[in-house]
Amino acid sequence: MAELSIDRFVDLYAARTAGMSASEVRALFAVASRPDVVSLAGGMPNVQALPSEDVLAAVSNAMDEYGVTTLQYGGGQGHVALRQRLVGLMAEEGVGADPDDVVVTTGAQQALDLLGKIFIDPGDLIAVEAPAYVGALTAFGAYQPRYLQIDLDDDGMIVEQLEEALVQGARPKFVYTVPNFGNPAGVTMSATRRERLAALCRGASIPIIEDNPYGMLRFEGQSLSCLRAMAPDNVIYVGTVSKVFSPGVRVGWALAEQSVVQRLVLAKEAADLCSSSFNMLVTERYLSGERWRRNLETLIDAYRSGRDSMLEALAEHFPPESTWTRPAGGFFVWVTLPRWVDTQTMLAAAVERRVAYVPGTAFYPEGRGTNQMRLAFCFPTVDRIREGVGRSCPTKPSSTGHCTHEGRGAGRRTQPRARRLAPIRTPGATGACPARP
Ligand SMILES: Cc1ncc(COP(=O)(O)O)c(C=O)c1O
């Protein structure tokens, strides 16, 4: 065990590091990776499903095609061959782009960090969804913003709330959204809301950061237009290959106007000079053939089965006053439990029962969401998901008469429709969140 020691530098750290402290949830992630624990916590893609021969072929093709370039530094914007490939990927989601407007980053996460770096001064207001992707709160939080939190419902961000805030004089530097099968809520912004958001922000000259890691993981229904396609000059699109190929290669990107691109490249070069040439060019080769599409179909089928199994298990095990979202793609279900449940306090006991999830408080800057949780269906097998959901059912206080975690067979019931997912926005200080997807 590490010895406790006094930090000699305690007075020297920059003020922004105060927003970087880890919550106790981080410690539980180590436990969650134990083989006997069903992890419904991390959003880890099912990379076991990728045929290793396809990956090896991409490595070998990259060496054949690009030679020592794969082993060399590259430019800060990323290899043009990859940028062209990413333009093709975005075209499949209806987004037109020029490779010159793409900056390759070390995962989408770095794009978020760099965007925070170039847009946020301490005290600036930024608009985020409530609940929001924890990694975005972590990335932006380091630049000490204030938050305008816009609630979500089953149709995604409640754009009327943003509109009202703007009428009252709020001027966020940008609006951050994950419109497709969002992390953590799993909901998708409706077409009407997209149009309204795009027009509102365009009119007010407030850029939108559209983070779209899950857009290609649709289980059912029609794809909706990306915000970037609706207002190309006002939307910064963030993409990643983490969910369609591998998070291990750490390849993401931002698509933006030239003025933003130039600043991003400068910020990127300051951070890490360039992304890994090897990983970029292997990714380019992986995406060059047709096999990756078959692999993606396999992944989508597996995630759909995971989602179905999770929804069935929730209906079977969870207390009747609970609500949860029904994602049409992606990785996550967002559960709102009765008021008597504190998902953070409950977590230690859940881990003892060999299941882990992420408590709702991690997804709000100021720690709302005590009776909420995010459950990920992307990684465990369907049987493990069923088991895990059963074990993560809250233990009732003696007076309520609701299910206990042993209460399997409590009876199936119709899944309630989730209404608003969170209470009214309250700008607040940076929270302490685990930097995990
Ligand atoms: C909404 C969202 N944005 C960004 C990321 C970061 O992705 P990457 O692996 O490309 O850094 C994630 C990861 O899960 C995510 O869920």
Q: What pLDDT does residue 4 have?
A: 63
Q: What pLDDT does residue 417 have?
A: 39
Side-by-side strand order, sheet with 323-324: 323-324, 332-336, 372-376, 358-359
- Give residue 154 CA to ligand 1 midpoint distance, Å: 21
- Give residue 397 CA to ligand 1 midpoint distance, Å: 36
Which atom of ligand 1 has the smallest separation from the CA of 109?
A: 11
- Any idea what the Cα angle at residue 346 is, between residues 340 and 351, rounded to 5°? 155
Task: For residue 346, give the CATH number of its domain.
Answer: 3.90.1150.10
Q: Strand locations in 138-278, DSSP E?
A: 146-153, 156-157, 175-177, 208-211, 235-240, 251-255
227 vs 235: CA distance, rounded Å: 7
Same domain, 207 and 229: yes
Give the residue, by CA position, lying nearest to ligand 1 atom 15: 437
- Given ligand 1 and candidates 104, 133, 152, which is best to mutate, with the most ligand atoms within 8 Å of its CB? 133
Q: What pLDDT does residue 28 have?
A: 65
Which atom of ligand 1 has the smallest separation from the CA of 112?
A: 4
Which atom of ligand 1 has the smallest separation from the CA of 241?
A: 10
28 vs 40: CA distance, rounded Å: 12
Same domain, 359 and 278: no
Find the mean pLDDT for residues 419-430.
Answer: 36
- Given ligand 1 and candidates 46, 104, 109, 110, which is best to mutate, with the most ligand atoms within 8 Å of its CB? 109
Last residue of a domain, one of 252, 269, 289: 289
H or E element: which one contains 21? none
Q: Helix axis angle, 134-141 relative to 107-119, nearest 10°? A: 40
Note the pLDDT tens digit of each residue in 397-412. 654 444 444 333 333 3
Find the mean pLDDT for residues 279-283.
Answer: 98
Same domain, 79 and 30: no
Last residue of a domain, one of 244, 265, 289: 289
Same domain, 269 and 344: no
Which atom of ligand 1 has the smallest separation from the CA of 108?
A: 10
Which atom of ligand 1 has the smallest separation from the CA of 437?
A: 14
Q: What pLDDT does residue 422 have?
A: 39
Same domain, 276 and 154: yes
Same domain, 252 and 383: no
Find the mean pLDDT for residues 317-343.
Answer: 95
Other CB atoms within a 10 A radius of the CB of residue 92 amount to 11
Find the mean pLDDT for residues 217-225.
Answer: 97
Same domain, 174 and 284: yes
Other CB atoms within a 10 A radius of the CB of residue 222 amount to 7
- pLDDT category, 328, cuts 50, 70, 90? very high
- pLDDT category, 427, cuts 50, 70, 90? very low
- Residue 323 DSSP class: E
Q: What pLDDT does residue 413 have?
A: 35
Last residue of a domain, one of 243, 266, 289: 289
Give the residue, by CA position, lying nearest to ligand 1 atom 14: 437
Q: What is the CB < 6 Å shell around ligand 1?
A: 43, 107-109, 133, 135, 178, 183, 211, 213, 240, 242, 247, 252, 437
- Give residue 388 CA to ligand 1 midpoint distance, Å: 24
Residues 6+ apart with CB under 8 A from 284: 62, 79, 81, 82, 85
Give the residue, by CA position, lying nearest to ligand 1 atom 7: 108
In a domain, 297, yes or no: yes
In a domain, 422, yes or no: no
Same domain, 299 and 285: no
- Given ligand 1 and candidates 110, 189, 242, which is best to mutate, with the most ligand atoms within 8 Å of its CB? 242
In a domain, 46, yes or no: yes
Same domain, 217 and 154: yes
- Give residue 363 CA to ligand 1 midpoint distance, Å: 14
- Give residue 109 CA to ligand 1 midpoint distance, Å: 6
Same domain, 35 and 169: no
Note the pLDDT tens digit of each residue in 40-64. 998 899 999 999 999 999 999 999 9
Q: What pLDDT does residue 197 have?
A: 98
In a domain, 425, yes or no: no
Which atom of ligand 1 has the smallest separation from the CA of 110?
A: 11
- Give residue 316 CA to ligand 1 midpoint distance, Å: 31
Note the pLDDT tens digit of each residue in 172-193. 999 999 999 999 999 999 999 9
Q: Helix axis angle, 52-66 relative to 291-317, nearest 10°? A: 140
Same domain, 109 and 194: yes
Note the pLDDT tens digit of each residue in 152-168. 999 999 999 999 999 99
Note the pLDDT tens digit of each residue in 2-30. 556 788 998 999 988 887 766 555 666 67
- Give residue 68 CA to ligand 1 midpoint distance, Å: 30
Other CB atoms within a 10 A radius of the CB of residue 32 amount to 23
Task: Report whether 399 contacts 306 (CB < 8 A).
Answer: no
- Any idea what the Cα angle at residue 169 is, between residues 364 and 133, rounded to 5°? 20
- Given ligand 1 and candidates 240, 244, 272, which is best to mutate, with the most ligand atoms within 8 Å of its CB? 240
Which atom of ligand 1 has the smallest separation from the CA of 43?
A: 14
H or E element: which one contains 245? none
Give the residue, by CA position, lying nearest to ligand 1 atom 13: 437
- Give residue 262 CA to ligand 1 midpoint distance, Å: 23
In a domain, 8, yes or no: no
- pLDDT category, 424, cuts 50, 70, 90? very low
Question: What's the domain count of the chain?
Answer: 2
In a domain, 336, yes or no: yes
Q: What pLDDT does residue 416 have?
A: 39
Which atom of ligand 1 has the smallest separation from the CA of 331?
A: 16
Q: What pLDDT does residue 42 have?
A: 86
Same domain, 342 and 366: yes
- Given ligand 1 and candidates 181, 209, 211, which is best to mutate, with the most ligand atoms within 8 Å of its CB? 211
In a domain, 427, yes or no: no
Note the pLDDT tens digit of each residue in 282-306. 999 999 989 999 999 999 999 999 9
Closest CA to 432 of 11, 138, 124: 138
Note the pLDDT tens digit of each residue in 248-278. 999 999 999 999 999 999 999 999 999 999 9
Note the pLDDT tens digit of each residue in 92-121. 999 999 999 999 999 999 999 999 999 999
Residue 324 to residues 77, 117, 151, 154, 397: CA-CA distances in angstroms? 41, 35, 15, 10, 21
Task: For residue 85, give the CATH number of its domain.
Answer: 3.40.640.10
Which atom of ligand 1 has the smallest separation from the CA of 251?
A: 10
Structural domain range at position 160: 53-289
Residues 6+ apart with CB under 8 A from 76: 103, 265, 266, 268, 269, 273, 274
